Structure 1
């Protein structure tokens, strides 16, 4: 084990959560595996090793949790995120049905209509706060309806989702403060988001219908609500705010997109590569395994640093530059393999529709004020105020 470089850097300080990229670059320079001694994690900071791990679930197991704190990992074993095939396959099959790419055609007209409405209103004011007024709008108006939660649950979804993500890190102050909200959500999922209280045509109801058919165990339904609430909210909200900030900082790229809308999918991929809303998950090795020439023992917990891999200079030339002609469809922000994000088609749809409407109406953005989100499991902006120059 002496071959493995060791770092005592804490990835969970406020400064590191706000801007981890210098730390990631330092890790990548040390080697393909770095032992993070504070939390006994073996971090993979480079692209090739992270991608290989994501596509090898048999060796890099999710069944013992994908977070940092051992107690949280133990509590979450068996949910969709923290399971392996065949159990994972059965849950994901049910969970992903309304999120398939072909099903997005059904929800696209509504998302487009709502995007028209909100963008026209905000641009007409000459400026707006991106996170609460733009980025939260589609997830909170459309996606909440699609999930089919009762009204008393919807108003707390953002608070619950942020708290759940805060449990992804170590047992620190942020995780402790999130505890009551996480418990409140789990109680709601078990008693408030159940048949008779949820929209019978919504995604949540479809979980219970699948359980009635014997496709998944009945007791999995409440915890599977996590999979609709957390990924459909914060990650998409952060991705939308991030891409607006990137275009504000790079007006030449905004001009390119306005002139050539075929660049839209590449712009989405490039923004997700450069600013990944979920910086990492972890896995546990099921056997002794060599990573990049470095031997690790079975039972080692390995941190897959998506956000670092997406800026690996070995894979992406000039990786710090925002370039919407790059076409980085192989980025790892959505993961890869068995645990690739089931909501990625919905996220892409929401991002694409909003960017297209903004490109029609906005000549340029100017950032007035910004504030990073400080969260153990997420990275992005908590506040982004912009002025806009209307298109002529």
Structure 2
């Protein structure tokens, strides 16, 4: 049996959150499976193995949760993200109704009108923070309204969502700092985000209506709101911000897009491949399993490194090059298989609406300042100040 290489790198350390790509390359070179000694699990750093794991939920189970800390994993068992069929199928069928592609056609005019307004305003300013002024606008205004939790909590949603992502990692300083905000959000979901206090036409209310029809247990409703708030905010915000940062660094690619708007879907895919907002989730093996010739025992927790897989040179030639003609629709930033991101159509709609309007009005982005986000579950920029012309 082959020896499994061991790495003591901490993928949750500040330097690894800021620039994980040299680390990812080292892990890919070590082998298809690497033991991550600091946090007691294995990691799959290569594209083919991560994709195969995502397509095999029966072997790579989410039912024992998908985070890192054992205590947090035990607490989260049973939520949509941390479940397998048939429970996962039941919850996802309810969650996904307002996010289906046909429903996005109803939402599109609102998103496009807001995109018109925010892009026009910011381009007129000439200088703005992409992360907080552009990228946050659609998720925090349109999406929060669709969820229907109320205007008074809109500002809190970003804070709560970021905290939930922070507890995805090990019990480090960021993890502990986030716990009070996570508890605050769970309390809000349990006691405030309930029928009579939320928009009866919003997505959150639809969860309770589905429960009343007997489609799912009513006690699932509060935690299922995590699935609307958490993925719909930070990941899209980071994706939009990363896309503009890449175009600022590669003006030739922006020229291509401005000349041919049919490249917008491919540009979004290439940006998500290059800068994956959620670098990893974990799974637990339900049986002894061999990965590319490496055997692992049942019960092993395995991290699927999406951020590494999306830059695997075995899959993508010259993977560190931003090329919007690459058309990498098979990237793993949204996951694959049973747990593919339920909100990906909404994210694409928001990103497309902004890129269309920016392409009409902006010739160049010049970065004048940026700051990386430090979060256990997310990766990207929390500030990106640009001048446009």
The TM tier, using the shorter chain, reads: over 0.9
1:40 CA displacement: 1.2
Deviation readout 1:207-260 (Å, 9 max, x if unpaired): 000000111100000000000000010000000000000000000000000000
Deviation readout 1:13-52 (Å, 9 max, x if unpaired): 1111111010000000011000000111110000000000
Question: Residues of 2 paired with 1:344 and 1:46: CA distance?
Answer: 23
- TM-score, length-normalised on structure 1? 0.99
* 1:109 is the counterpart of 2:109: yes
**1:1-392 superposed matches below 5 A:** 3-389=3-389
| Conservation of the 8 A alpha-carbon contact between 1:153 and 1:188 | no
1:153 CA displacement: 2.0
List gaps (5 residues or longer) in structure 2: none
Question: Residues of 2 paired with 1:39 and 1:323: CA distance?
Answer: 35
Question: Residues of 2 paired with 1:197 and 1:302: CA distance?
Answer: 41
1:155 CA displacement: 1.9
| Conservation of the 8 A alpha-carbon contact between 2:32 and 2:44 | yes
1:151 CA displacement: 2.4
1:381 CA displacement: 0.3
Question: Residues of 2 paired with 1:102 and 1:337: CA distance?
Answer: 20
Question: Residues of 2 paired with 1:242 and 1:218: CA distance?
Answer: 38
Deviation readout 1:68-101 (Å, 9 max, x if unpaired): 0000000000000000000000000000000001
Question: Residues of 2 paired with 1:169 and 1:91: CA distance?
Answer: 24
Runs of 4+ in 1 over 4 A off after TM superposition: none
Question: Residues of 1 paired with 2:75 and 2:152: CA distance?
Answer: 26
1:294 CA displacement: 0.2
Question: Residues of 2 paired with 1:145 and 1:7: CA distance?
Answer: 44
1:3 CA displacement: 1.1
Question: Residues of 2 paired with 1:260 and 1:157: CA distance?
Answer: 36
> SS state of the match for residue 155, structure 1?
helix
> SS state of the match for residue 325, structure 1?
coil
- TM-score, length-normalised on structure 2? 0.99
